[in-house]
Structure 1
Amino acid sequence: MLKTFLSFCLLLLTSVAAVSQKASAEEELWWRKNNLRVIQTNLPDYEAATLNPDSLVKDLVAFSANTLIINAGGIMAFYPTKLDFHYTNPHMKPDMLGEVVKKCHQNGIKVMVRVDFSRMHESIYKQHPDWCYISPEGERMINTDMYVVSINAPYVQEKAFNIIEEIMDLYPVDGIFLNMPGYQTRNSYADKYHGIDQNVYDQKSFAAYSDGLKLPLKEDGSDPVFRKYMEFKKFTVDQWSERLNKLVKSKNKQTAICTYMDKHVDIIRHESQNNTSLPYWPYTASDNVSNAGNSYPDHIISNASIQQISFQSRFNAVEPMEVQIRLYENIANGSGLDLSMAGDTRGYEDERNFNVIRKVYTHHKKFEPYYGNYKSVAKVAVIAPGSWVHGEQGQEYRGVSLILKEAHIQFDVIEFTQIAKLAERIKAYKTIIFPEITNLSEEALEVLKQAAAGGTNLIGTNRSFSAYPSFLSEVFGAKVVSKDNDGAGNYLVPDQKEFKRFSLQKMLFWKFNLGLYNFSGADEKFFPILSSGRPGPPEIIGGHEPTGYYAMGVKKHAKSKAALLPINVGRLYFVHGYEQHKNILLEALDHVMPDAGKLVQTNAPAKVEVILKEYARNTPENRKTRQMEGLMLHLVNLTGFSGNTYFEPLPVLDLKFTLQSDFKPAKVFAMNSKKPVKYTWKDGYLTLDLSRLEDYEGIVISKK
């Protein structure tokens, strides 16, 4: 009996030890600390001959960087490869990459190597033309002497893994950064669309996946074959990513996988790129980090500030103040720092940003314990139409986000594809806003119904939910009459008693889309729509008569409200910036959620970005327990942003904040100003004063 008992105890201790070792190993994964300060040197081939490992590491240390991303292989080998299908950089120095890795490690800097399997050199193409992309017209996708490859051909399916294995066998790298993964239809570097890849390997793979279907020739969402092809693309990319993960982790579990996708990776990378058209968008980093971080909460996020103006202008950097805003937004929203430059730090063609990089990276290093371990306090969520937004739908989304940012309303961003996967989190929000979200799964719609029944308010703009008539009717009491209607010349009539922001206005002009909906199933209707009337000289204008339609309908549920605004309100504000259009959305939000603005109340200008988070110091014990230690108030000064360029921000004086806080602080201090922060706490509200804001401030509100 005693022997049996002792055996049981030994088994129990062994199990506990195994669990403890597993948890310990998980904790030791270096990227999970979420304290990245990345510098990426995107080396042109010729700089492999001139890069000096000693000077590079010296510069990284001076910048306070703790992670380097540097070229290794794929498009070309920056090391002495023995693989005959791996084109060698003709400027390659045999010891360059190895010396960089060794000297970085000696200085406590991690090294992730960049691999890119999207293209191959012409010399390899001539031997294996069947490995490369071919358009429906029989054209190749080429950049000088580099040919775009096909994902399902042997180069990506077999040889890429051989290259990664060789790199990991030669060098003790800390991570693999996979650049430009996935299928390609457009030559991004030449900005030319080529179409769906018709490579023979793609034909065979798709036929096997789809029971004999032929590859579609056009991207047509109404075509069932194209929809099947989209499934196929996702399946093959996920399958390849899983194989990569298994290979890398079989060789070293401490090697991180970093790329732009979420499946089978450790670090999701995103990019703040230069705007290609006006109006510029100064919130790219906040947007990217919030979107990825909230949509994929189990991942570490690293949002790269891309130095270059464009692919055609890589050696000219964006403005220093734009980089500064991006970097501060990164850390304020819970990621680390990440910057990508074209080439070595020595002899760099545009060094104007170096002081900004050094300043922000040094700040992050100094106050590292207060960054990277946050919990959202937001009660509002905005659903994003994707991780890379564009077009009119992107403008609607950005306009809605801009309205909330300028009103200092705290909100999380969640990608539309993740609604069903984050059901409990979705139901916890008090209000969710859908800026023209038109493509949702049945599972997502069911989650939203349950959320509305449980007390979550829903607000939809423009064409949101227009493809789901039963959902529109049940949740919003609405029916589509015409979801596409040019609103140029029309007016909306605000209810001046209900909506205080319009006390001096009787008519609000319109342009862009103005959907016509039947709100007979709604409980409330607002903003009557007037007809476009008579355009012309002053003598004949007028004739704006009621159309019988409304720009906002509200259906009341037992515990919530659902408001539909079938109008391009976000896009109109994003493009033109008239405050009356901002006020339409803010009035709608106040109507369904009267306390939306009470979480943060401030006299700060609209161009001071205010980000409030719960924090715990970023230490191993806190990462395990997630016990929050207080609040962090981040202030990013965007007053230098003029709409089409970035100047030095203007100092902002005498700021006052009232924050909802369920605890009385033990101390409050500001990181940068080095001056005391005056504060009082009473009845669940904390009031504090900041005498001066320069470029950025982080205010720590500690429970103890």
Structure 2
Amino acid sequence: MQTNLPAYEADLNVNSLINDLKGFSVNTLIINAGGIMAFYPTKLEDQYTNPFMKENMLGDVISKCHENGIRVIVRFDFSRAHESIFDRHPDWFYLSPKGERIRNDDMYVISINAPYEQKVLFDIVGEVIDLYAIDGIFINMPGYQTRNAYEGVYHGIDQNPYDKERFMEYSGMSLPLVEDDADPVFQKYQEFKKFTVDDLMKRLHSMVKAKNEQIAICTYMGNYVDIIRHESHPSGLPYWPYSASDNVSNVENSYPDHIVSNASIQQISFQSRYNAVEPEESAIRLYQNIANGSGLDMSIMGDFQGNEDERSYEVFREVYAHHKANEKYYGHYMSPAEIAVVSPGYWPGGERAQEYRGIQLMLKEAHLQFDLIEDAQLSKLGSKMKGYKVIILPEIVSLDSGSLAVIKAAVAGGTHLIATNESLSGHPDALLELFGAKAVQPDQDGAGYYLAPENKSVFKSFDLQSLIMFKFNLGFYNFDQANETYLPIYTPGRPGPPEKIGGHEPTGYKAVAVKNHSASKAVLMPINLGRLYYIHGYEEHKQILLDIINYLEPGISDLFTTNAHPRVEAVLQKYVENTPENFGRQEEDGIILHLVNITGFSGNTFFEPLTVNDLEFRVRCEVKPSSVFTMVGSDPVDYRWSDGYLQLKIEELGQYEAVVIEK
């Protein structure tokens, strides 16, 4: 649990806090320490002190948490500093191309390459470690700032003199003024940003571990940390009810040597911090966390007592108590999924995120098991990628050379590849090699066009349909060097009243190309298929992808099948009992089937889920189980096992259930 304390709550009642944590079954607290302001008695000139601070509140919290078996991670935020520091050292702070500062009240955004982060940060963290027996540090908002995140205003690339000097030393170039992916200088700047952030975290890691190797380092990146934190929070429309599954699977599979902790952020927005998301959404996030391999992580504004929105408290108590009682079954997983979906980054956004989410949504609703892999991590996961039967690139426009080599090696080794929309458009040679395709007009507006599922042997879901509507991007590609092509594209025809419509003609282009490789096929669909489904939800667009997957790998659903409602999220995991003696062990103790009921999600609102009855499952299970039981209901489950497959039924599903299949 994270208590994100406003300055004026630095006098909280420590005994009350401990009682609340114990009542919620919490074993780790994240609480404010320093950076923006000190919640402890600092002696450092450039660490601003919280004017409301109760003299030894932080020390009392840490000591009393430890007395009650609760670990403490202290939170730092070095993205901003007080105006008193700005007045003394204006050159330490962000400067936009227009000469603007980023300011929130009396706090200014700092520059990562200036002395505040390069030196003062280390002084502050070191001071806290020397004062208190902390168990971990959490760094909030690390890295470069280009916008006022709390007001949603973009200001541009930081032109601070320290940034200019260090970038010149690194590259021999002047800082770019505009973010342009096609600009070689901006490409070098992107590389520079990664280098400098990694350098800062490496130095911080060395300093912290030199003081105490057992202090865990936690932040939102993968290098030089012990715990990678992510966040589920409302972000635009349509709402994304699989946020926690998305975040955890992406980190868990992309950084297999790290612990992931996905925080359910209770605030609705930066402008509405005192209002929390619905309790039903909180429950979904927490159950998705444990289904995919994260521990439970909840961030609330302020103290528990007198909180402005306590509606989710009962959810916290119920889910945390369940996790505590069944902890040995959670957190040590090995995914059996045979499909990988490549994500456009750690924190996807914009239209590419919509394409990515739409593809996930199609697979989730079809109950196909899949892993998420961050595009930037592909080059480190070569052997893992070869183990999948299908890899999907949802508008992954470009990849570094190592990652592209991993994809090519997987295809050569027998893994099928599916790419959508403008995937690999930044690599015309790879488009030709993998798909036999050349881009003619990759960014054609598809409004009013139709796709024709003429080949019913491939598109088996369209026996009653001859045309499929389209909108958003619809790329025109030359597929002369592909082995097969499908889905002819028809022109928009004549708009107007019913009496005048028609005139749809073949464009000569196709929406699907297939190139045969020695042991696999590669499919290019240069259309915004995922985004269209994510925004509008017409099942015909989902069926295009599902039919292609079944065409490539007819037995792909053999791993797991069910009659469950599409809004019952099913996550299958191989598990190792998560006990200290099993640390590092890879031989599984069995299988867990997690079921998260999302039937209460209406599209804009989270209601109580509908009870789902008479669920049937068929699971690939090589060894006959010694027992099968439900974790929430604690009931034995009747099952039949034969020829490597397990069949079982569950009479009723509420919000969540987990079926444990023990070896």
Same fold per TM (> 0.5)? yes
- Match of 1:20? none
| Stretch moving more, 408-417 or 621-630 | 621-630
**What corresponds to 2:322 in structure 1?**
363
Structure 2 residue matching 1:305: 3-state secondary structure:
strand
Amino acid at match of 1:47: E
Whole-Å separation in 2 of the counterparts to 1:191 and 1:487 = 30
Q: Which amino acid aligns with 1:487?
A: G
The answer on whether the counterparts of 1:677 and 1:690 sit within 8 Å (CA) in structure 2 is yes
Once the two structures are TM-superposed, the CA of residue 676 in structure 1 deviates from its matched residue by 2.6
Query: Paired residue for 1:539, among 499, 505, 509?
Result: 499
SS in 1 for 2:260: strand
Within 5 Å, which residues of 2 pair with 1:396-435? 396-435=355-394
Q: Is the 8 A contact 1:382 1:433 kept in 2?
A: yes
Name which of 565, 570, 575 aligns with 2:535. Answer: 575
SS at match of 1:692: strand
CA contact (8 A) 1:491 1:532 kept: yes
Matched residue type, 1:286: S
Does the 8 A contact of 2:614 with 2:650 survive in 1? Answer: yes
Aligned partner of 1:499 in structure 2 is 459
Partner of 1:452: 411
Q: Deviations over 1:53-110 (max 9, x none)?
A: 1110110000001000000001000010011111100111111000000010011110
1:586 is aligned to 546
CA distance in 2, matches of 1:222, 1:379: 35
Shift of 1:466: 1.5
Residues 28-427 of structure 1: pairs in structure 2 closer than 5 A: 39-49=1-11, 51-211=12-172, 213-276=173-236, 278-427=237-386
- Alpha-carbon offset, residue 620 of structure 1: 2.1
Q: Which amino acid aligns with 2:354?
A: Q
| Counterpart secondary structure, 1:464 | coil
Q: Is the 8 A contact 2:398 2:427 kept in 1?
A: no
Q: CA deviation at 1:261?
A: 0.8
Q: Give the structure-2-normalised TM-score.
A: 0.99
Equivalent pairs, count: 662
2:115 maps to a residue whose letter is P
Counterpart CA distance in 2 for 1:220 and 1:569 is 26
Letter in 1 for 2:7: D
Find the aligned partners of 1:218 and 1:274 in 2 and give their Cα distance.
Answer: 29
| 8 Å Cα contact 1:71-1:114 kept in structure 2 | yes
Equivalent residue number for residue 562 of structure 2: 602
- In structure 2, C-alpha distance between the alignment counterparts of 1:219 and 1:497, rounded to whole Å: 46
SS where residue 269 of structure 1 aligns?
strand
The alpha-carbon deviation at position 548 of structure 1 amounts to 1.4
Q: 2:576–2:585: 8 Å Cα contact kept in structure 1? A: no
Q: Where do 5+ consecutive residues of structure 1 fail to align?
A: 1-38
Letter in 1 for 2:221: M
Separation in structure 2 between the aligned mates of residue 224 and residue 530 of structure 1, nearest angstrom = 38
1:559-582 deviation line (CA, Å, top 9, x unaligned): 111111111110000000000000
The residue identity in structure 2 corresponding to 1:590 is N
* Cα separation, 2, equivalents of 1:348 and 1:649: 26
Q: CA deviation at 1:367?
A: 0.3
Q: Is residue 231–residue 263 contact of structure 2 (8 Å, CA) maintained in 1?
A: yes
1:536-574 CA distance string (max 9 Å, x none):
111111111111111101111121111111111100000
Distance in 1, matches of 2:522 and 2:187, equals: 31
What secondary structure is seen at the aligned counterpart in 1 of 2:125? helix
From 615, 624, 640, the counterpart of 1:664: 624
Q: Residue 605 of structure 1 aligns to a residue in which SS? A: coil
Distance in 2 between residues matched to 1:560 and 1:84, nearest whole Å: 63
RMSD: 0.9
CA distance in structure 1 between the partners assigned to 2:411 and 2:111 by the alignment: 45
1:602 is displaced (CA, Å) by: 0.4
- The question of whether the paired residues in 1 share the 8 Å contact of 2:398 and 2:425 is answered with no
Cα distance in 2 between the residues matched to 1:182 and 1:498: 47
1:314, 1:342 within 8 Å by CA — same for their partners in 2?
A: yes
Partner of 1:438: 397
Shift of 1:496: 2.6
Amino acid at match of 2:101: R
Deviations along 1:121-159, one digit per CA (max 9) or x if unpaired, are: 111111111111111111111000001111111111001
For 1:440, give the aligned amino acid: L
Q: CA deviation at 1:675?
A: 3.0
* Deviation sequence 1:611-630 (CA, Å, 0-9, x none): 00001110122223221011
Secondary structure at 2:430's aligned position in 1?
Answer: helix
Structure 2 counterpart of 1:8:
none
Letter in 2 for 1:271: E
What is the letter of the counterpart of residue 80 of structure 2? R
| 1:316 counterpart SS class | coil
Q: What is the CA–CA distance in structure 1 between the aligned matches of 2:451 and 2:614, rounded to whole Å?
A: 38
Residue 509 of structure 1, CA deviation: 0.7
* Structure-2 separation of matches of 1:257 and 1:348: 29
The aligned residue for residue 614 of structure 1 is 574
Residue of structure 2 aligned with 1:683, choices 640, 643, 655: 643
Identity of aligned pairs, percent?
61
SS in 2 for 1:433: strand
Letter in 2 for 1:40: Q
Q: Give the letter for the 1:408 counterpart.
A: H
Answer yes or no: is 1:650 the counterpart of 2:580. no
Amino acid at match of 2:91: D
User: 1:498 Cα deviation (Å)?
Assistant: 3.0
Q: Is the 8 A contact 1:673 1:692 kept in 2?
A: no
Equivalent residue of 1:625, what SS? coil
Contact 2:597–2:654, Cα closer than 8 Å, also in 1: yes
- Say which SS state the counterpart of residue 489 (structure 1) adopts: coil
Secondary structure of the corresponding residue to residue 111 of structure 1? strand
SS of equivalent residue, structure 2 residue 126: helix
- 2:423 aligned residue (460, 464, 469): 464
In the alignment, the residues of structure 2 paired with residue 301 and residue 160 of structure 1 have an alpha-carbon distance, to the nearest angstrom, of 24
In the TM superposition, what whole-angstrom CA distance separates every residue of 1:165-222 from its partner, at most 9, and x where no partner exists? 10001000000000000000001011111111111111111111112x2111111112
Q: Structure 2: which amino acid aligns with 1:593?
A: E
Please tell me the residue identity of whatever aligns with 2:279.
P
Q: Structure 2, unaligned stretches of length 5 or more?
A: none
Runs of 4+ in structure 1 over 4 Å off: none
1:399, distance to aligned residue in structure 2 (A): 0.2
1:549 aligns with 2:523: no
Per the alignment, in what secondary structure is the counterpart of residue 498 of structure 2? coil
Distance of 1:506 and 1:658 partners within structure 2: 34
**Secondary structure of 1:402's aligned partner:** helix
Deviations 1:201-251 (A, max 9, x none): 11111111112x211111111222111111111111110100100010000
1:480 alignment partner, one of 433, 436, 439: 439
- 1:491, CA displacement in angstroms? 0.8
